[in-house]
Structure 1
Amino acid sequence: MANPPSSHYPDIGELGEDLVAQWLHSQGWKILHRRFYSPWGEIDIIAQFPEQHLLVNSLPQVAFVEVKTRSQGNWDAGGKGAITRQKQVKIGRTARMFLAQYPEKADYLCRFDVAIVYCKQRLKQHPALKCTPEPLATLSADEYQFYLQEYLPAAFDSCIDE
């Protein structure tokens, strides 16, 4: 049997981002943008913690979230190995472009988060994947199961001046 065309397969990265966006929303975050592009790259998710949930006299927060979706047993530590210094610089520059386009958010506290999502193709003859530790959230889509395994707030500092 021939393989179906690649358009038949789900966009694994997009589905991983969907899971993270849903989880952030459930945690009280407002999703401002998905896949924000600049000449330097893209930011998967840009989210704001609503002002009504903040403590008195604290600034609103904006999180620039890099989502890494991988199958278990991959070569780059679940995607953490792909967040190189060069990638951090690109994300920082793209964040600067976002803040230039939305100057009302320029004084917000900004942080750079990383979300690690594992995916596994669900096969009828195999039981569901057991994750340890317990995932923060899960999503089933097509024949895949997604697990938000780690969410690393402020995973790295802005490197935009390099």
Structure 2
Amino acid sequence: MTRQRAEQQGRRAESIAAGWLRLHGWRILAQRVRTPRGEVDLVAKRRGLVAFVEVKARTKAADLETAIDLRRLKRVAAAAEILYPEYCKKGEDARIDVILVAPRRLPTHLTNVWHGF
């Protein structure tokens, strides 16, 4: 897959994930937030809880099992630490979630995947 095609697939998956979150009562605060330590795909809020969300897309559902690993989660956690003061100004709780996207299936929302945050 070319870099450009992978970028398009990633943006499409992020749009799907954002829509999924909205359907479940979340408000999207930001998308593709970059920090010196890494990027957070989505920042969402619902009832005093802020979620820093990593979105992973695969062309085959079977490949979703290996889409997220400890190295990626560490990068998201490092970025979330930097972003926490900006998005959790009122002392809201925060967590790191992952949304997995593949064709012909509903997104899979994994909640609170990082316990070091």
Short-chain TM bin: 0.7 to 0.9
Q: Label 1:12 to 1:158 Cα distance change in 2 as closer, same or farther (>3 A).
A: same
The CA deviation at 1:96 is 1.2
Query: Which of the two has higher C-alpha Rg?
Result: 1
> Which runs of 5 or more residues in structure 1 are unaligned?
1-5, 52-59, 120-128, 136-147
In structure 2, do the counterparts of structure 1 residues 152 and 27 end up closer, same or farther at CA, with 3 Å as the change threshold? same
For normalisation by structure 2, the TM-score amounts to 0.83
Aligned length: 116
The structure where helix makes up a greater share of residues is 2
Q: 1:101 to 1:117 in 2, by over 3 A?
A: same
TM-score (normalised: structure 1): 0.62
Identity of paired residues, percent? Answer: 29
Q: Name structure 2 gaps, 5 residues minimum.
A: none
| CA displacement at 1:100 relative to structure 2 | 3.0
CA distance 1:102–1:20, change in 2 (3 Å) = closer
Instruction: Give the secondary-structure state (helix, strand or coil) at the position aligned to 2:25.
Output: coil
Q: Does 1:92 pair with 2:77?
A: yes
Aligned-pair RMSD on alpha carbons? 2.5
User: Does the 8 A contact of 1:112 with 1:158 survive in 2?
Assistant: no
Contact 2:58 2:67 (C-alpha < 8 Å) held by counterparts: no
* Equivalent position SS for 1:47: strand
